[in-house]
Structure 1
Amino acid sequence: MNILLDFIPLQDIGNGGIGGAATFTYSVYESLLSRTEEKPILFAAYDKRYPVGKQYDYHDFAKQNNITLIDISTRRMADIIAEKQIDVFFIAIGQFYAPYDLKNISCKTIMFIHDIFNVESYDNKIDLSLWGPLSIHKWNYCKRIINTLSGRNRRRLKRIYKNIIPLFNSPLTRAYTVSNYSREALYYYFPEINKPIDVCYSPKKEVLGCPDIENEQLNDIIESQKKYLLLIAANRIYKNAQVVMKAFSRLQAEYNDLYLVTLNYGQSVNDHHIDIAFLNENDLEKAYQHAYALLFPSLFEGFGYPPIEAMKYGTPIIASNVTSIPEILGNAGIYFSPLYPADLYRAIKVVIGNRDINKTEMEKRYKEITNKQQNDLNNLIAEILSKK
């Protein structure tokens, strides 16, 4: 049996090769390789134009697991599949394949579209009100406004989905997404999809714990026992750091022992805001574990790993009440509207007043969600290993 895997999410295609897409992809492959008794012949699609991502080194991973890398930068996927006699093609992140020729693929394909936040953000014109982090120049904000109002974003989205939806909707493709919310959003925006879309929750992250902390900033924060709120991926505008900055500036006036730790925001805005450029997997686990609370103010999420990681350690989660987030968190989160800094201010004060307010619900929900993650992963691996 010949299987073609997708390594594009493990590359830096402008996103650093870090985040939920890379974590999802790597977790699936680790599970596949650990359970395979029949040992299929494995190939992996990558694009030589893009460097290795920061989170995982796919070259080492391929070498260690006898996976043959195939550069798809200039070739039709159908030709590669025919040449290598591929039985199953696994696409971890559908949108990443928009630039490639996906016509006439004749093998069984398993394809994930995790979310369509770019479609939804264009539809509700939220780009018109979003300021990015301070590391992004004002011209980029102006460019987003111009692209939205001029229709350029609409044309770009049309090109992206015109290429990937036909394959997603093909009779030979097993269509997947990672939450019930994302499934219904796909049906809403793409009524031409006339087939079942299976929901497979993103698999649980497995991190080999190490007692040492590599990042000196984080080590100093933890050793000094600072009470900090944690916000990750703060450079991505849809993670909504702007609402956090507004709420925190107000909270700091009332709670002078409270700190804000952000990942990759670009700079610190005051002496109680500590920005860290990057944390490896082990250090990120430590950041979740020692945080006073996790802030998760996203405007869009297809799934969302950070709340689950925080739940594992009993760290309170103050989360946006939109898209898939309530589905994943259930009753374990303290919710707020991501559009209103005053509501985030309120939610943080709830946790300050009683940090254990959701402790029992978090323990219950963590068990529920991780059980579903494992069951869904088992079913997905079985599907990848089946020619039918």
Structure 2
Amino acid sequence: MQIKKIIIDTRMIDSSGIGRYLQNILPDIIEQFSNVSLLGEEQLLKEKLQNDNLHVIPFNEPIYSISEQLKYPYVIPKCDIFFSPHYNIPLLPIKAKYRIVTIHDVFHLAFYQSLNIFQRIYSKAVINQALKQSDAVITVSEFSKEEILKYTNKKYIDKIYVIYNGVRSWRKLSETKVDYCDNKPYFLFVGNVKPHKNLRRTIEAYRLLLLNIGDVKQKPYFIIVGKRDGFITGDNITALIENDPLLQQYVKFTGWITDSELQELYSNALALIFPSYYEGFGFPPLEAMSYGTPSIVANAASIPEICGDAALYFNPFDIYDIYNKMKCIFNSLHIRKELIEKGRENIKRFSCNLSIESHIKLFECFLK
């Protein structure tokens, strides 16, 4: 009996949300199915998956590029399943019996007017082709499923499967010690500076908080985990910080950090703040909950579905509401403790094992 072959595009293994998604599901998929090949960079994959026995097909073309589309048919061998963890599927014919894609959200359709002309044409065409050409479409929340159907075509409803992301709970912390703020309390932001992440309004709200805390020794820092720039649709917050001495002193960018350093930052934060107004899922609040850290989040998109009653919510477009919720967390140990307890219950809904099993069962349906 011939062994079924699966090919997975893993070039986004080092990105934020999709990278987490891949790192969570790939080890078990590789273990479950004996013939899995990964498209990507071999050394990076071995490092991220901590596995030296991977079968890697070298493929480093940029995401969303014309070159990736032209080369897909030549690098993807004959296979039973080709799995794309993002909507940038091969548009030209490939030698795959079945195709499975994960569409995490349709931000590029929901906020179509904010894109340049190339982004508009590309995102609309490719997302629609991903739905049309794929035999199964995974998405990560009921919110995202509804958004996909809203902005494309309801005829695809029967091929869309909602599988929540899994979050690994309470991992052992390493001996890594990171200190960006002289052991003082801090709010934590994990993500990038794309406009929909809403960092600018959050920093403006945080500035109000600083101005209303008289004692210099009590002022909390604001640590931003992620790169300052380098994104396709980056938000310019540099001037906001550099033109304000108070923000210069208390806002700290970490740049790229290791997973161990991130775990340490989560564990010691006063609270995570997650102000994004559009998310298909949103890992950071759940990761914060897994480390016993309260979350202040936007009441928008999929976030209430994912966080339930285990977070403090604000209107992401109201700077004063963001400020008030930050002040509430800063001043109330009782509220912080209550959110921590609710967070520990909430993350039980997002078991990594359940998410992995759901992916494996779906794959098995097409390998019979």
CA gap 1:207/1:353 in 2 versus in 1, 3 angstroms:
closer
CA distance in 1, matches of 2:69, 2:350: 40
CA distance in 1, matches of 2:350, 2:161: 18
In structure 2, the partner of 1:64 is 52
Structure 1 portions without partners, runs of 5+: 11-16, 47-51, 128-143
Deviation at 1:181? 0.5
CA distance in 2, matches of 1:78, 1:270: 49
8 Å contact 2:170–2:291 — kept in the other structure?
A: no
Query: Deviation string for 1:166-190 (max 9, x for gaps)?
Result: 34234x6111101110000000000
CA distance in 1, matches of 2:82, 2:363: 8
In structure 1, the partner of 2:9 is 6
The reply to whether residue 337 of structure 1 matches residue 295 of structure 2 is no
8 Å contact 1:228–1:261 — kept in the other structure?
A: yes
How well do the aligned residues superpose, as a CA RMSD in angstroms? 2.7
CA distance in 2, matches of 1:186, 1:358: 32
Deviation at 1:300? 1.1
In structure 2, the partner of 1:370 is 350
Which of the residues 121, 132, 135 maps onto 2:111? 121
Which of the residues 197, 202, 207 maps onto 1:249? 207
Indicate the SS of the match to 2:110.
Answer: helix
The reply to whether residue 261 of structure 1 matches residue 223 of structure 2 is yes
8 Å contact 1:102–1:163 — kept in the other structure?
A: no
Indicate the SS of the match to 1:175.
Answer: strand
TM-score (norm 2): 0.81
In structure 2, the partner of 1:40 is 34
Indicate the SS of the match to 1:379.
Answer: helix
Equivalent runs, 1:181-220 vs 2, <5 Å: 181-191=143-153, 193-196=155-158, 197-205=160-168, 209-213=172-176, 218-219=178-179
CA distance in 1, matches of 2:354, 2:171: 22
Indicate the SS of the match to 1:295.
Answer: strand
8 Å contact 1:90–1:384 — kept in the other structure?
A: no
Query: Deviation string for 1:8-39 (max 9, x for gaps)?
Result: 212xxxxxx420111101211112134x2xx5
8 Å contact 2:275–2:297 — kept in the other structure?
A: yes
Indicate the SS of the match to 1:64.
Answer: coil
Indicate the SS of the match to 2:285.
Answer: helix
Count residues with an aligned counterpart: 332
Equivalent runs, 1:225-240 vs 2, <5 Å: 225-240=183-198
In structure 2, the partner of 1:112 is 102
CA gap 1:237/1:342 in 2 versus in 1, 3 angstroms:
same
Indicate the SS of the match to 2:209.
Answer: helix
**Aligned letter for 1:89?**
F
Indicate the SS of the match to 2:156.
Answer: coil
Indicate the larger mover: 373-382 or 64-73.
Answer: 64-73
CA distance in 1, matches of 2:185, 2:331: 14
8 Å contact 1:233–1:265 — kept in the other structure?
A: no
CA distance in 2, matches of 1:208, 1:283: 13
CA distance in 2, matches of 1:105, 1:189: 29
In structure 2, the partner of 1:21 is 18
Equivalent runs, 1:345-364 vs 2, <5 Å: 345-354=323-332, 355-364=336-345
**Aligned letter for 2:45?**
Y
CA gap 1:42/1:104 in 2 versus in 1, 3 angstroms:
closer
CA distance in 1, matches of 2:316, 2:346: 22
Query: Deviation string for 1:286-315 (max 9, x for gaps)?
Result: 111100010000021111110001111221
CA distance in 2, matches of 1:104, 1:199: 26
CA distance in 2, matches of 1:59, 1:313: 26
CA distance in 2, matches of 1:245, 1:28: 34
Indicate the larger mover: 159-168 or 246-255.
Answer: 159-168
CA distance in 2, matches of 1:120, 1:335: 22
8 Å contact 2:138–2:163 — kept in the other structure?
A: yes
Which of the residues 58, 79, 91 maps onto 1:86? 79
Indicate the SS of the match to 2:39.
Answer: strand
The reply to whether residue 319 of structure 1 matches residue 297 of structure 2 is yes
In structure 2, the partner of 1:136 is none
8 Å contact 2:169–2:291 — kept in the other structure?
A: no
TM-score (norm 1): 0.77
CA gap 1:247/1:63 in 2 versus in 1, 3 angstroms:
closer
Indicate the SS of the match to 2:280.
Answer: coil
Q: Could you tell me the percent identity over the aligned residues? A: 22
In structure 2, the partner of 1:168 is 131
CA distance in 2, matches of 1:234, 1:30: 26
